[in-house]
Chain A
């Protein structure tokens, strides 16, 4: 009849009155959960509502949307809209489809995320495990670049990319962005938390610097890699300003630019293809969501199993 007994029976211990019977405590827990669920549902509604409305609206034709506004129910234009969004050539030069733009975004997102992970892991490895002159200074210089976001250094970056002749190329899109102060910092903190004895045991086991990195540090960093991959992929996928500056050729268009493009081209005489813009927005959302879902599992699994 006490809290101890509740705990023993496996039910969560709640600050119920000590004299409450087991069923009373159960009812309390249920009431508690209902309130929690209402709060959570409200949050879900707030975040998912606009997306759901965007999706339902995208299944109507542009005239309906233009005259009646956003639609809550499904229309009968689902297939034609999404077919057009994915396969129809769009843009000023009619060079790129929704599918092609998604591929471009994917290349940018993956290149961005993987590049950043590789560069920042190597940088952190050097900073944490090797004693070289001015090592700490190097770290703080890297760290201080956090104060200089992309927008601040966009002109010199453009100058460099242009000078190297990398405009309108995937290399030009990805390479200048793969240095990451955030990633370096995260990996540095993580490497510092790896017990020194592991390094010593590996040294006695005959693992050189490369082997130690590849055989020990990389597998131990799995969860960190997953976390940084999620963040960086989404950031890369959502890049807008950078691709606009680095690429002028429409075959390099990313999805995020494409959404804007659909609304822009026909403005004036015609009714904009609202349905296609919304459809493309929905499609643009799918890969980041998938990445988060897939890696989140690994991320949580890694957290639960983590053992250093």
Chain B
């Protein structure tokens, strides 16, 4: 079953700026879909259109089989977690959780039961009488999620909920959000600009750029077969190496070396190689790939990043820490499966 369908959604601001340019997304039951993209790509706008906080210029938003374009946010059966939590500062945690239910006219006993259940689930039972200002960042985050959970919505909307937390807490809360969402089995949309969050949380990732969808797919699909140079450079850290190259006669030419092309192409292309798929061979032993000039080596503990250039263009390779540190000149050993070819002009995958 489909929880949410976004059909050809367009958002045009009164000043004529197009924030979302005709987007189609579906969210299945219990699925966690992540909208990811750089700032200004329209991901938050799209989420706010689903929430009802932004009007829909064109297109349809269908939630649980009901067209909700003109429905007030409170009546859409959604719940939202904001970036800065947006807890009511003058209300206790309990009242923060209960406020929405109270406004819906839920009986007191039922409110109490729901609030206590959510508090137990999120381990905030001890703080119910405290004010948000007396809580730590992680606890506030939990309260914000609690406020979403008690509403028992058809879909959760997360708007960069972890960006106000420090790195360690972020990883912990990321895992908690995922577990919680699995456990509740409620569909969710999660907006982030952090590709690591997107990769780790998502059932499916929607990569947005400039108000348009670049690619929709599982994390593995988006990572393994990026649909464009934009996706290739956005997903993965360090990003995929993108080299300008020539093709012809079933081969790719970079500088003076030739590699067998995985797909048929002619003329200029962009060649993408993930850093961890670029194996280095010291000296010339056994490798027939293009030569790489090494200039900097970064140690990251388990792995090491080798920065340098291939055919005069910047190139980064990833090497396991057990391997020997390469000299100034190495050759790359590449496999045809690891090569991604993109159209030189449009940046689309070939």
Residue of B nearest to A308 (CB): B89
Is the CB–CB distance between B51 and A204 below 8 Å?
yes
Please tell me the number of chain B residues within 8 Å of chain A, measured between CB atoms.
27
> Known contacts A215-B99, A305-B133; is A204 also within 8 Å of B79 by CB?
yes
Please tell me if the beta carbons of A201 and B82 are within 8 angstroms of each other in the complex: yes
Once bound together, how far apart are the Cα atoms of A201 and B157, in whole Å? 12
Residues of A within 8 A of B88 (CB): 198, 201-202, 215-216
A195, A205, A305: the one contacting B99 at CB < 8 Å is A205
Evaluate contact between B74 and A204: CB separation under 8 angstroms. Answer: yes
Interface size class of A (residues with CB under 8 A): 20 to 34
A277–B79 Cα gap in the complex (Å)? Answer: 66
Interchain nearest-CB distance for A144 vs B (Å): 28
| A228 at interface, CB cutoff 8 A | no
Tell me the complex Cα distance, A299–B276, Å.
60
Contact with A along B73-101 (1 / 0, CB 8 A): 11100111011101111110000000110
A216 and B103 CA atoms in complex are apart in Å by: 13
Q: How far is the CA of A307 from the CA of B51 in the complex (A)?
A: 26
Interface string of A201-215 (1 = CB under 8 A from B): 111111100010001
- Hey, which bits of chain A sit against chain B, CB under 8 A? 195, 197-198, 200-207, 211, 215-216, 219-220, 222, 305, 307-308
Can you list 29 pairs linking A and B with CB atoms under 8 Å apart? A195-B84, A197-B86, A198-B88, A200-B73, A200-B80, A200-B82, A201-B82, A201-B88, A203-B53, A203-B72, A203-B73, A204-B51, A204-B74, A204-B80, A205-B74, A205-B100, A205-B103, A206-B74, A206-B75, A206-B100, A207-B74, A207-B99, A207-B103, A211-B103, A305-B133, A307-B89, A307-B131, A307-B132, A308-B89
Residue B104 at the chain A interface, CB threshold 8 Å: yes
Smallest beta-carbon distance B88→chain A, Å: 6
Bound Cα distance A234, B89 (Å): 30
Chain B, residue nearest A305 (CB): B133
Chain B residues with CB under 8 Å of A204's CB are 51-53, 73-74, 78-80, 100
Q: Which residue of A lies closest to B79 (CB)?
A: A204
Please give, as numbers and ranges, the residues of chain B lying within 8 Å of A215 by CB-CB distance. Answer: 88, 99
- When C-beta atoms are compared, the residue in chain B nearest to A219 turns out to be B90
> Within 8 Å CB of A202, what residues of B?
88, 99
Interface centre among A197, A220, A222 (most CB of B within 10 A): A197
B residues apposed to A, CB below 8 Å: 51-53, 72-75, 78-80, 82-84, 86-91, 99-100, 103-104, 131-133, 147
Query: Cα distance A201–B52 when bound, in Å?
Result: 11
Taking a contact as CB atoms closer than 8 A, the residue among A200, A206, A219, A307 that contacts B86 in the complex is A200
A203 to B72, CA, bound (A): 8
Q: How far is the CA of A170 from the CA of B132 in the complex (A)?
A: 44
Tell me the smallest distance from the CB of B81 to a CB of chain A, in Å. Answer: 10
Q: Chain B nearest CB: distance from A290 CB in Å?
A: 26
Report B-chain residues with C-beta under 8 Å of the C-beta of A201: 80, 82, 86-88, 147
Assembled-state Cα–Cα distance A82/B150 (Å): 63
Q: Once bound together, how far apart are the Cα atoms of A47 and B132, in whole Å?
A: 42
Instruction: State A219–B72 Cα separation when bound (angstroms).
Output: 25
Given contacts A202-B88, A205-B103, 9 further A-B pairs with CB under 8 A are: A195-B84, A198-B88, A200-B82, A200-B86, A203-B52, A205-B147, A207-B74, A215-B99, A220-B89
Provide the bound-state CA to CA distance between A205 and B101, in Å: 7
Is B104 in contact with A195, judged by CB distance below 8 angstroms?
A: no
The 4 A-B residue pairs whose C-beta atoms are closest, nearest first, are: A206-B74, A205-B100, A197-B86, A206-B103
Q: From B84, which residue of chain A is reached at the shortest CB distance? A: A197
Shortest C-beta distance, A302 to chain B (Å), equals 10
B90 touches A206 (CB 8 A): no
* Residues of B with C-beta under 8 A to A198: 86, 88
**Which residues of chain B are near A219, meaning CB under 8 Å?**
90-91
